Amino acid sequence: MKWSELNDNWCPVARTLSIVGDRWTLLILRDCYLGKTKFEEFAASGGMTRHLLADRLKRLVEVGVLERRAYCTAPKRFDYVLTAKGEELRPALAIMKEWGKKHLPVRRTAVEG
């Protein structure tokens, strides 16, 4: 089986991963949950290259996890907002957040308190 065929896999987990299972998509969703909507906001988030960001956003819009809205017509500007479908993945990210906090403390001797 190739990755590109996962979307027809018998397993619903595999089908979900065919959308969000790559290296950057869940990180984009995290930014969405944090309230980011604009291309430059995602780009500034220190994540992937603009190239990949554009690609992933397009894909997320295609599958209906995000919606691309024109928030400004004069200088055609778009932002990306979560759909209901996209919101439903939030709990999965929340679990990963708790898991990371619990099991993966930052190694750099941080000055947390």
Read off the tokens for 50: 């603009």
Nearer to a second copy, 54 or 93 (CB): 93
Euclidean distance between CA atoms 33 and 105, whole angstroms: 22
Which of a second copy, DNA, none lies near 70, with the C-beta cut-off 5 to 8 A by kind?
Answer: none
Paired with 67 in beta bridges are: 81
Strand extents, DSSP E, the chain: 66-72, 77-82
Among 37, 56, 81, 95, binds a second copy (CB under 8 A): 95
Q: Does 55 bind DNA (CB under 7 A)?
A: yes
Tokens of 37: 């909507």
The site for DNA (CB under 7 A) is made up of 1-4, 22-24, 38-41, 48-52, 54-55, 57-58, 68, 71, 74-79
